[in-house]
Amino acid sequence: MYPNDGFRELERQECLRLLAKVPVGRIVHTRQALPAVLPVNFSLDSDGAVLVRTSAASELARAVDGTVVAFEVDEVDAVAHSGWSVVVTGAATVVRDPDEHERLTRTGPRSWAPSPEEVFVRIQPELITGRELVGGRSLYGIHLSP
């Protein structure tokens, strides 16, 4: 977070509430030693972990398993100059436990591009940060012109 940028910082519970509102986010990981960003559909588990369902053969599953990633969601109103952004940072792991996989098959996210063999990637939130700009006005009281 950048403490003096005019945005309001969001508390953890508020961030989780906003995360649950949107169906698509972006997972940020390292690909060939460079940053990579991939939009994915997701859901939240009961403990606040981010869940992504993908092909077992996907490059994404191999790239993120056992690494620290960032996951970002946002909602923006370009006309009103308002919106929010939430970033979850934490360890990503492919779910290997058969019972957990079965549970997530019933309760977890549905893939938008189904494949014959799918896995779940769990991002355990170690750090959750968020910020909001409301009504086109910064915390400094300065109105943003349209």
* Cα separations in angstroms, 110 against 14, 83, 119, 145: 25, 27, 11, 41
User: Residue range 31-47: average pLDDT?
Assistant: 94
For the cut 90, the answer to whether the pLDDT of residue 4 exceeds it is no
Q: Is the whole model's pTM more than 0.85, yes or no?
A: yes
- Hey, what amino acid is at 20? A
Residue scoring higher pLDDT (114 or 141): 114
Share of the chain above pLDDT 90, in %: 73
* Residues 43-88: tens digit of each pLDDT: 999 999 999 999 999 999 999 999 999 999 999 988 877 899 999 9
In whole angstroms, give the CA distance from residue 46 to residue 125.
Answer: 12
Q: Quickly list DSSP for 103-129.
A: HHHHHSPPPSS--SSEEEEEEEEEEEE
37: three-class secondary structure by DSSP? strand
In whole angstroms, give the CA distance from residue 67 to residue 97.
Answer: 18
- Average pLDDT taken over every residue of the chain: 89
Report the chain's terminal Cα–Cα distance, integer Å: 25
Residue scoring higher pLDDT (100 or 7): 100
The set of residues, in sequence order, having a beta carbon less than 8 Å from that of 54 and lying 6+ positions away, is 40, 60, 61, 111, 115, 118, 119, 121
* Residues 77-111: tens digit of each pLDDT: 888 778 999 999 999 999 999 999 999 999 999 98
Residue scoring higher pLDDT (77 or 2): 77
